[in-house]
Amino acid sequence: MLETKQLTPVETSPIFSKMVDNSHKNLVFCMDKATGLKAIIAIHDTTLGPAIGGTRMWHYRSEADALDDVLRLSRGMTYKSAITGLNFGGGNAVIIGDYNRDKSEALMRRFGKFVNNLNGEFVTAQDVGTTLKDMEYIRMETPHVVGLSEALGGSGQTGPISAYGVYMGIKASVKELWGNDSLSGKSVAVQGIGNVGEHLVRLLRDEDARVYISDLDDDRLTAVARKHDAIIVPNNQIYDLDVDIYSPCALGATVNNETLKRLKCAIIAGSANNQLQDEEVHGQLLMDMGILYAPDFLINAGGLISVYSEISGGGKKRALQQAENIYKVTLDIFRMSKREQITPNQAALKIAEKRIADIRSLKANS
């Protein structure tokens, strides 16, 4: 008789448990010694369509941080598409490295080959640390890239339309709190004046809001302050300002235990993905503190709307109309949040998850 040997249980890998936690579908690790490429592609959900998401290049403190970022970003993309009514799933990619020092044509093209191997299950676009030029390099290796320059038939920079969507979300939040949506005389702290932030500053200043700005790039700060008559504040003081609105437009997780002790605003509404360090904990804390939070994945969907128009052929006018609709959806979310006594983030997730579940069952039964 064969002796059966008892196998010792395999220690649970933090990678797999992290995938299980948020039901991720696929995770691809991309490595190329010749170009120094180290990247991770995460596919969260493809119920509504191919997983779409940016490729971010960032000097992460650790590979674990990069993994956490890509898992959170890809999940956010699923809900962003779902709540905006687009037929995309959610995915994202991160390239680990300093975009000023480590980027090259060969590295981006090698990354493009990894994207191509996924046969269209993942479609990528520009994000923090990548440019339209990088998208052109990726396009040399795969058709599964959007947000190309207008000269190449793409929809061009997504910053302006993303900023417009965020502006709509801010106006809806102001209407919810103060009964009318005028920004004249309102004070806004914009953290990060990059592609989205600068356009947002312009829209806010056009409506006569008082705008404070911070960024890591001093030259850019001076130029934007001069161009739009905005007030520069040192990075570490942005959370202490006595303003009506805090608008995070740099990186995520800036709403956390530390900053919540300092923030004095009535509204948080910005473009950065994953602004709440912990959705449940900090979403609830904001509600308890009486700070109105406009869900990031809802109001920053302008860029996605823009690249969707590139694929669907909807055109700029249609994309602008869809971005304008963020105003109405944001107000609907606030109403649902009040009615059901849940946070605005939970309300937005509930609507997005319902759409995904409905379409999943429609597909299963057809």
Ligand X SMILES: NC(=O)c1ccc[n+]([C@@H]2O[C@H](COP(=O)([O-])OP(=O)(O)OC[C@H]3O[C@@H](n4cnc5c(N)ncnc54)[C@H](O)[C@@H]3O)[C@@H](O)[C@H]2O)c1
Which residues contribute to the site for ligand X (CB under 6 A)? 127-128, 158-159, 162, 191-197, 214-217, 220, 235, 249-251, 271-273, 300, 303
**211 by DSSP, 3-state: which?**
strand
Tell whether residue 36 is among the known ligand binding residues: no
Rounded distance between C-alpha atoms, residue 45 and residue 74, angstroms = 8
Cβ of residue 302: shortest distance to ligand X, in angstroms? 6
Tell whether residue 128 is among the known ligand binding residues: no
Rounded distance between C-alpha atoms, residue 256 and residue 35, angstroms = 37
Using the CB atoms, write b or e for 223-246: b if 16+ within 10 Å.
Answer: ebbeebebeebeeeebbebebbbb
Cβ of residue 17: shortest distance to ligand X, in angstroms? 26
With respect to ligand X, which residue has the nearer C-beta, 173 or 259? 259
Question: Do 330 and 173 meet the contact criterion of CB atoms below 8 Å apart?
Answer: yes
The separation between CA 92 and the C-alpha centre of its own chain, rounded to angstroms, equals 10
Q: Which two tokens stand for residue 90?
A: 């959610």
User: How buried is residue 131: exposed, middle or buried, by Cβ count under 10 Å (0-12/13-18/19+)?
Assistant: middle
Question: Do 159 and 130 meet the contact criterion of CB atoms below 8 Å apart?
Answer: no
**43 by DSSP, 3-state: which?**
strand
Question: For the packed helices 63-84 and 14-21, what is the interaxial angle rounded to 10 degrees?
Answer: 10
Cβ of residue 207: shortest distance to ligand X, in angstroms? 20
Tell whether residue 94 is among the known ligand binding residues: no
With respect to ligand X, which residue has the nearer C-beta, 162 or 287? 162
Tell whether residue 345 is among the known ligand binding residues: no
Cβ of residue 99: shortest distance to ligand X, in angstroms? 9
Alpha-carbon distance values, 242 to 7, 9, 151, 191, 316 (Å): 61, 55, 44, 14, 37
Tell whether residue 192 is among the known ligand binding residues: yes
Q: Which residue has the tokens 């993303």?
A: 162
With respect to ligand X, which residue has the nearer C-beta, 129 or 344? 129
Cβ of residue 192: shortest distance to ligand X, in angstroms? 3
Find the helix or strand (DSSP H, E) in which 58 lies. Answer: strand 51-58
Question: Do 228 and 201 meet the contact criterion of CB atoms below 8 Å apart?
Answer: yes
Cβ of residue 352: shortest distance to ligand X, in angstroms? 16
Cβ of residue 94: shortest distance to ligand X, in angstroms? 11
With respect to ligand X, which residue has the nearer C-beta, 113 or 194? 194
Rounded distance between C-alpha atoms, residue 235 and residue 250, angstroms = 11
Tell whether residue 196 is among the known ligand binding residues: yes
Cβ of residue 30: shortest distance to ligand X, in angstroms? 20
**Which of 107, 128, 89, 86 shows the shortest CA–CA distance to 39?**
107
Q: Which two tokens stand for residue 169?
A: 């979300």
With respect to ligand X, which residue has the nearer C-beta, 204 or 287? 204
Binding-site annotation, residues for NAD(+): 192-197
Binding-site annotation, residues: 192-197
